[in-house]
Structure 1
């Protein structure tokens, strides 16, 4: 067991872990405004761009399957520091990239780093704040991805060295965070089974299996929508509106995530069931407006749709995490988070690869119309299944009259 941290270090812990989690996700979104630049620079096909986007998620899933519960055995800090060191290597690979092969390698490293960091950081945050931890774990990824896409888009459009500057800044920030995390408190305890935990597997604690199964269709629809934004939106925005600036694509991706973060924070006192209801309305209205904007080329519709959809995604994701995470015991928390993130990133990546093939066959605007319609159907279907399951559970608890 780790020694007791000093009060100063204990107070610094939640902030250090939260900022590190946000930075990890900011780096994940940083390439989004650059995809069109890479296409033009190296004549990369839409299918290969989709693969560069998705290989990150596959590497993340592999890391989660192998080491998702490792921090339950060796402590949180060693896993977080290892993840940051791999992230530093990923940023260095982006800086040296001179073709799509380097991009694939950088995204693989980045996925491994995020997979190691995601469950251990999220578990450390809940360890320190069981009441507010689930809200922070909903807020930090959305805010991080939003800021990452926005800052990257601005630097690509306005600053020198568009394919290098964002990665140099993130690398420097990651080095600083290694030093900060080393001084943060250890929130976990060592226990046997570290080597056994590295066997690739998905293990859901019995106390949370039923809840995870219930939220899966709805949660998958949210992450499919996010994958659509982070992979296709820069090209969709340019194709629909005729505006070629990479700042537009980055701004729309950022708007989705920051609107989601606003929902998480502003609605944090509402019960999960009410959050879910608010979220599905926001997503449905937002996707409908996005579809109208894509079909008409209306920038105002695209912006409004992004705001509504982002708010809905944030509220819905907060409802999912707040209903799910408290169900796991502390020594099973990283295990549950690993399984949960496997589900999320499969939904995030697999449809995006399919979209890459559709772009080659039908073009980016038609693909976006197909994708938007499918996501709208998934969201509504997942919500109805979730509501139906909740109604059945309430009915089962009520005595017959």
Structure 2
């Protein structure tokens, strides 16, 4: 525990308070539902387009609303949990997720979807940062350095559930535009109840009152911050390209329009991310990001080759290796920064990492979508390979810079 939360045994609590271990897993669950919510509409986009006769531009705008609002909330509220506590910030965030998913569940027209997507962006902007910090702070004594692996596995589980549950319900269940979101709404409501029972915030008078202010990173960890931000950005960019273009590649190679089958294929990557994160939790974070960058370069070559040769085996290999590279980059990237950020600035520091990652992810995804519309899937995929390959090279350079600066003790925090 940090000074930001009362211990589970505190007598000042008027309500039943979760234990430290239960709070740890609740925070991880918040990270998981944040990614589930963010990816939930993905499988429904084609149905929205056909049902409401949307243009490609309108469909792209549904996606674009989310990162725009998320980035705004990270900029304004990125440090909020450092002042009002992780629990309160997660409650606001999960509440916004509930409202956004509800709008999707009852949406009679595309305007409701835009509003719901905006609320999802606000919710993830608030909840994910606070949850990432809370997982570190509620870790068992001496285990905080492994929190990034749990966070990575939780977010991977959320992505897998989004594609599997969403694909299955849309393909086989009634009310394909709505039932998926009612199921997600129920899950979020349960998680909200657990967050409500987490330990409350204890005011640190030295912090002062919260007000909107620029996100800052402590001087002593700025090199780690740069390495972390580049690694997480590379992971996010690769994941967005794979999810956006991989579904189309899979549809062409497998020769099916079955959304559930395509969702299962995409979920292989998410499952691999989670397994990789758990397997790599004992290794130094610096080594994880370097290995993840190398794996990304190899995987990009596999993905491009599978598209050019129309090879399903190569695409499946790229899917598995993609999960490994994402898991290494994201888990290692978070690990570089979360364990070393000052406790009273941990939320803001994590927000600064997510801010860079989401800005570049959204820019890359939007650009590739426009290129795919104008010039075809092959051109967009090639551009994605070049951009993400460049990010992977930057990650290798950043990891090398850490080693050259003698940052072994900082980097090897995951032991």
Q: Give the structure-1-normalised TM-score.
A: 0.90
In structure 1, what is the equivalent of residue 388 of structure 2?
375
The secondary structure found in structure 2 opposite 1:280 is helix
In structure 2, what is the equivalent of residue 269 of structure 1?
282
In structure 1, what is the equivalent of residue 152 of structure 2?
138
Mapped pair 1:362 → 2:375: yes
Q: Which one has the bigger helix percentage?
A: 1
- Following superposition, the deviation at residue 104 of structure 1 comes to 1.8
- Following superposition, the deviation at residue 91 of structure 1 comes to 0.9
In structure 2, what is the equivalent of residue 309 of structure 1?
322
Deviations 1:185-233 (A, max 9, x none): 23x4323588864415222222322211234444322221112133333
Deviations 1:302-340 (A, max 9, x none): 221011011111012211111211121111110101111
Q: Distance in 2 between matches of 1:324 and 1:163?
A: 39
| CA separation of 1:328 and 1:277: change in aligned 2, threshold 3 A | closer
In structure 1, what is the equivalent of residue 258 of structure 2?
245
Alignment of 1:207-286 (within 5 A): 207-286=220-299
Mapped pair 1:35 → 2:45: yes
Mapped pair 1:79 → 2:89: yes
In structure 1, what is the equivalent of residue 216 of structure 2?
203
The secondary structure found in structure 2 opposite 1:163 is coil
Identify unmatched segments of 5+ residues in structure 1.
Answer: none
Q: Distance in 2 between matches of 1:291 and 1:265?
A: 28
Q: 2:73 aligns with which of 23, 42, 63?
A: 63
The secondary structure found in structure 1 opposite 2:405 is helix
Cα RMSD, aligned residues only: 2.5
Contact 1:29–1:146, Cα closer than 8 Å, also in 2: no
Q: 1:177 aligns with which of 183, 187, 191?
A: 191
Mapped pair 1:98 → 2:108: yes
Mapped pair 1:11 → 2:25: no
Instruction: Give the count of matched residue pairs.
Output: 395
Q: Distance in 2 between matches of 1:362 and 1:81?
A: 44
Contact 2:163–2:266, Cα closer than 8 Å, also in 1: yes
In structure 2, what is the equivalent of residue 147 of structure 1?
161
Contact 1:224–1:375, Cα closer than 8 Å, also in 2: yes
| CA separation of 1:387 and 1:84: change in aligned 2, threshold 3 A | closer
4+ residue segments displaced more than 6 Å: none
Comparing 13-22 and 108-117, the one that deviates more: 13-22
Contact 1:292–1:301, Cα closer than 8 Å, also in 2: yes
Q: Distance in 1 between matches of 2:113 and 2:266?
A: 20
Q: Give the structure-2-normalised TM-score.
A: 0.87
Q: 2:170 aligns with which of 150, 156, 167?
A: 156
- Following superposition, the deviation at residue 112 of structure 1 comes to 0.2
| CA separation of 1:295 and 1:325: change in aligned 2, threshold 3 A | same
The secondary structure found in structure 1 opposite 2:202 is coil
In structure 2, what is the equivalent of residue 335 of structure 1?
348
